[in-house]
A and B are shown apart, each in its own frame.
Chain A
Amino acid sequence: MANAASAHAHDGHHVKRYGGLMDWLTTVDHKKIGILYLLAGAFFFIVGGIEAMLIRLQLMAPGLDVVSAQHYNEIITMHGTTMIFLAAMPILFGFINAILPLQIGARDVAFPFVNALGFWLFLFGGILLNISWFVGEVPDAGWTAYVPLSGEQFSVHRGVDFFLMGLQIAGFGSLIGAINFLVTIINMRAPGMSFMRMPLFTWTAFIASALILFAFPAFTIGLVLLTFDRLFSGNIFDPNMGGNIVLWQHIFWIFGHPEVYILILPAFGIISEVIPTFAKKRLFGYSTMVFAIILIGFLGFMVWVHHMFTTGLGPVANALFAVATMLIAVPTGIKVFNWLFTMWGGQIRFNTANLFAIGFVPTFVMGGVTGVMLAVPPADFQFHDSYFVVAHFHYVIVGGIVLGLFAGLFYWFPKMFGRSLDETLGKWIFWLFLIGFHLTFFIQHFLGMLGMPRRVYTYLDESQNPGWGWMNALSTSGAFLMSIATILLLVNIVITMKKPKTAPADPWDGLGRTLEWTIASPAPEYNFAQTPIVRGIDAWWKEKMDGKTAMTPAEPLGPIHMPSPSILPIIMSFGLFVAAVGFMYSDVLNGYYVAIGGLAITLFCMFLRSVYDDHGFHLDPTEEEGVQS
């Protein structure tokens, strides 16, 4: 690292490079940013998990007082917000960052600086949101923040302001991150990698990024409007001033429904990588799978009203959106059957990564079928806002996304860190988590159908609600198993990180199919010493089957241009953080000077970035000892 601190330059540009902590704060390397996303996402996943355990403890028996009613509402709001925006999305962004450029044979993403900025914006947004716990004014209107409960009149403390500002900043990060992924995939694929030769994970990252591009602006606008209502008495959602509360629901769900697909599509992508690898077979029906992703992404924008069947939009809207919602089951079903038939005729290995992927399929199917049941508006009149819905979306998000994430973690861990996670411990984690999951959430379908509404901080005793007590206790017991599994996963990661980096380039017994398995584990800073030529789907597998031991290079060995590290992204994000605090506390601060100061920091960094040309520097893979660390 020491001799890397000065520029290793062929063209005379001197670029300051850092070591240690400064390396991580200034990095624009997609692999390091991916690790940062994973670390931050894991941290928030634990925070959200602790919130989940408090919820389950409070509901373990009727009439408990583990937390107060007010605190309970804060906890459910933060649990949902944290898990969606600060855990699931960043962890997926982490995998996309770490793996996507490797899968398409690229040396980096299209906009490394923007990529770093996206991470720091997310992190500062997440920190701002969670500072609310220390201030003692926590968002308490649910992760959907329905007005007027989240408005100025009924939520008088600053909790919802933290929600609005935190998500606004984190949302910018997601949006620019997605634009970066889109441009990377469109422009930086290795020669020969046509769109219809891209690995499925890359495809899902591509479609999910497109969904972010169209869905997040709606959310941004919604947050701005509600911010105006709360900070500047905007009256946009105030019915007493001619505002309309249903407008917020439309804006929220026009974003909120695609958001679910933004999360699940990359999980589909992970499953579509892991299952073929460990079945030793190519993905069954590749083009249908691609078509199904695109169709799901498109239909994802056409169904938001199914979150609003009980709002009173009338039977025409309800019926139309019901049919649109049911249609999504068709491409999703295609994917499930194609996964099953990928394994058909293969040689399935049951290592931990594949166990999670195999466990995903039946679990996700259960979440999918309850989704179709919820799509029937008259039946939804009963299901809506009951525990049936809670069971449904946890089957999709935990049974779908989280199992997918765990599969991806075990699968790509050697590529990211050079070491494979412990398999014995891994299998314990899988079974504990899967059993705990079904124990927790299966019974909740029945609680919902017995009439238990969601978001209730307590319920009356057996005389009023026969059976609810033991059903909730069972649910809570499952949550403990999931907690133990999560703790074991952390233990596994810690003991694995203490081992030496011994993972080979293609660590899964040479079963790797895509380009990330052609380079060292972990990948060198420039990824590919020579850009490979891609000759078909599963490019690496194809070469191996033709008896080759390496990809055919598309260029001679030579110096590789790299982007310079920069401290500006973190400062820009910090500026927006300061601005947000300034806006929220303008009443205490007697004015907007802090807010303006914060914005000035960000704008000044943007100015600096614009006027200083960044020529980057060059690495020479032939003398890589000196530059790599």
Chain B
Amino acid sequence: MMQLFKGKRIFLLFAAFAVLLSGCSLEASPLNPKGLQGKEQLDLMILSLVIMTLVVIVVYVIAVYVLVKYRARKGDNSIPKQVEGNHKLEITWTVIPLILLTILAVPTIGYSFKHDQNLSNDPDAVKVKVTAHQFWWEFSYPELGIETSQDLVMPVGKDISFEMTSVDVMHSFWIPAIGGKKDTNPGLISYFHLRPLEVGVFKGKCAELCGPSHALMDFKAVVLSQEDFDAWVADMKEPTSISGDVATGEAIFKANCIQCHAIQPEARSPVAPHLNGFADRERVGSILEMNEDNIKDWIRDPQSIKPGSLMPGFGEGTSLELSEEELNQLTKYLLQLK
């Protein structure tokens, strides 16, 4: 795979351009990957880009030369020589592309197999079941006995094996900064794996048109060190510990929310996002900043934030209306779900 590293200089130029484009620093993205697959995929992009840049330069140089040299000159009414063709030239521009493509095809085939393995039986891999819903993500860790949603927590440096499906329409699971995507197909299971290489919080996206809120079907990939991950696991497995005076809020939650939203660690939550660890999540409804106001806005009218969301609104004038005080209590309770 030596050729993968030859393109670094062009890559630097390319990255510099991308930095320029993104304003200031290059955030984690397919161009600045923080995962093993993402890095290898970037290598392949660079290899193909280098080869293709070569082709483009050759075409452009010839084009500019021809257009300047052979432009029609005033008063020249001669008839140019009508050339039929040239076998040697034509063989040249058949064979050289074939060679270039072979150079590209070899690592392509290698990585196609490498990135498409099924690690679901690998004892060292962390197993995560991903279930996509309109418009949220359900994550369960069958070996750890954890059910959660929206924030995908992973230990750094380990293979994560995903077993993915969807309950409604097609979605596509994508963490741009860690590695390329795979579709989640209703009625089918797809296997996928990633290895995050850096601690941090990265954007997760749905990449397949899935309805009105396709654009907002985000999640967060939270990559933790092994100790932090272990601590998170222990924390998640503990039944939700409630501190402070939130009994009123809890009652409201039990009366209105628990039919859809599970909070117990091992209970599945097939209809709506699991809320175990809700208060620690990065975002409300996967897109808004995590704060009290946004939680209340979301509960009042989810459709105004995520069009097509299946959650009913609890705002003024709805059949399920909660008073401002009830909303305050409920929010207080929700912020205790750690």
Q: Which residues of A contact B (CB under 8 A)?
A: 68-70, 73, 141-142, 146, 148-149, 154, 239-240, 243-246, 279-282, 284-288, 310-312, 314-315, 318-319, 322-323, 326-327, 329-330, 333-334, 336-338, 340-341, 343-350, 358, 361-362, 365-366, 369-370, 372-373, 375-382, 384-386, 443, 446, 449-451, 453, 455-460, 462, 464, 466-467, 470-471, 545
Contact = CB atoms under 8 A, between A and B. Distances in A.
B172 A385 contact: yes
A73 B114 CA distance: 35
A347 B72 contact: yes
A376 B48 contact: yes
Contacts of A73: 209, 211-212, 214
Contact of B104 (A318, A326, A451, A460): A326
B179 interface: yes
Contact of A343 (B67, B172, B206): B67
A287 B90 CA distance: 11
8 contacts: A68-B212, A146-B170, A149-B211, A318-B112, A329-B97, A348-B71, A376-B45, A381-B179
A245 B94 CA distance: 39
Given A246-B185, A338-B90, A330 B98 contact: yes
Interface of B: 17-18, 21-25, 27, 29-31, 37-38, 40-42, 44-45, 48-49, 51-53, 55-56, 59-60, 62-63, 66-67, 70-73, 76, 78-86, 89-90, 93-94, 97-98, 101, 104-105, 108-109, 111-117, 168-170, 172, 174, 176-177, 179-183, 185-188, 190-192, 203, 205-216, 287, 307-308
Given A288-B85, A451-B30, A459-B215, A319 B113 contact: yes
A280 B79 CA distance: 7
Contact of A449 (B31, B44, B52): B31
A187 to B, nearest CB: 28
Contact of B63 (A287, A312, A340): A340
Given A245-B188, A451-B203, A284 B52 contact: no
B18 A450 contact: yes
A93 to B, nearest CB: 29
Given A315-B113, A379-B45, 16 more contacts: A141-B209, A148-B169, A148-B186, A310-B181, A323-B108, A330-B94, A337-B62, A348-B70, A358-B63, A358-B67, A372-B51, A378-B37, A379-B41, A382-B180, A451-B176, A457-B215
Given A149-B170, A322-B105, A376-B104, A466 B112 contact: no
B212 A69 contact: yes
Contact of B72 (A246, A329, A349): A349
Contacts of A382: 30, 38, 41-42, 45, 176, 179-181
Contacts of B181: 310, 381-382, 384-385
A446 B27 contact: no
A372 B56 contact: no
B105 A326 contact: yes
Given A282-B83, A327-B101, A336 B59 contact: yes
A471 B21 CA distance: 7
Contact of B94 (A334, A347, A464): A334
Given A330-B98, A376-B104, A154 B168 contact: yes
A149 B45 CA distance: 31
A281 B83 contact: yes
Given A279-B80, A326-B101, A285 B41 contact: no
Nearest to A308: B183
A348 B203 contact: no
Contacts of A449: 18, 29-31, 45
Given A148-B168, A286-B85, A330-B98, A369 B203 contact: no
Contacts of A330: 94, 97-98, 101
